[in-house]
Amino acid sequence: MRDKKDAPLRSDAQRNRERILDVALEELTLCADAPLSAIARKAGVGQGTFYRNFPNREALVLEIYRHEMQQVAATAARLLETRPPDRALREWMDRLAGFAMTKAGLADAIRLALGAPNSPAKPSPTPVAEAAELLLRAGEEAGTVRPGVTGDDFLLAIAGLWQLDPDGDWQSRATRLLDLVMDGLRAGAWGEAHR
């Protein structure tokens, strides 16, 4: 009953998998509906090898998604160490905006892969939500964020970021959105009167 999980892949297979992921990130960022066959070809592997690693488009996209999101999540803790909570939160939001813009193609690819069919494995307690939670709790204690807002609430509130057009003046629209959200978060915090 001991199965594949612990078998650490043959080294050539390992390399293949990584090459696929590298190429896929680049290719999907450029064009969300890039053919999987093209990705396999550019990665220098056969169709079968591709499908051995990623049984379908969703699996591939999800893996990339996780990796990218973990990067963003990780910055939250770092920001909290060097800035007051509400500054850290806002700066993290700005970075999320920038991230959403450079990875717009990838975001489309995710929706394209997960949106349509029954998506059973929506990873709900995601690292990004946890990172948001971290910042929110800090803000709550500092009195700059109303109590009880969850990481998921937060992500829902800034969902509009992924709807902006990367080629255009998204900057001002993002700022306006984030200002609005920040004010919404502040309303009802115990430190609200101070300002």
Interacting residues with DNA (CB under 7 A): 7, 9-10, 12-13, 16, 33, 35-37, 44-53, 55-57
Query: Which of 30, 59, 74, 180: binder of a copy of itself (CB under 8 A)?
Result: 180
CA atoms of 119 and 13, how far apart (whole Å): 28
Of 5 and 194, nearer to DNA (C-beta) is 5
Of 41 and 173, nearer to DNA (C-beta) is 41
Query: Which of 13, 58, 98, 155: binder of a copy of itself (CB under 8 A)?
Result: 155
Closest CA to 100 of 177, 23, 34: 177
Of 131 and 136, nearer to a copy of itself (C-beta) is 136
Task: By CB under 8 A, tell whether 137 contacts a copy of itself.
Answer: no
C-alpha atoms less than 13 angstroms from C-alpha of 81 in its C-beta half-sphere: 5
Query: Which of 30, 38, 74, 187: binder of a copy of itself (CB under 8 A)?
Result: 187
CB of 69 to DNA, least distance (A): 23
CB of 43 to DNA, least distance (A): 9
Closest CA to 22 of 46, 51, 42, 48: 42
CA atoms of 68 and 106, how far apart (whole Å): 10
Select from DNA, a copy of itself, none the partner in contact with residue 13, using the beta carbon and a kind-dependent cut-off of 5 to 8 Å.
Answer: DNA
CB 127 within 8 A of CB 147: no
CA atoms of 24 and 186, how far apart (whole Å): 40
Select from DNA, a copy of itself, none the partner in contact with residue 190, using the beta carbon and a kind-dependent cut-off of 5 to 8 Å.
Answer: none
CA atoms of 62 and 117, how far apart (whole Å): 14
Task: Find the distance separating the first CA and the last CA of the chain, reported in whole Å.
Answer: 62
Q: Which two tokens stand for residue 41?
A: 């070809």
Q: What is the contact surface with a copy of itself in residues (CB under 8 A)?
A: 31-33, 108-109, 111-112, 115-117, 122, 149, 152-153, 155-160, 162-165, 173, 176-177, 180-188
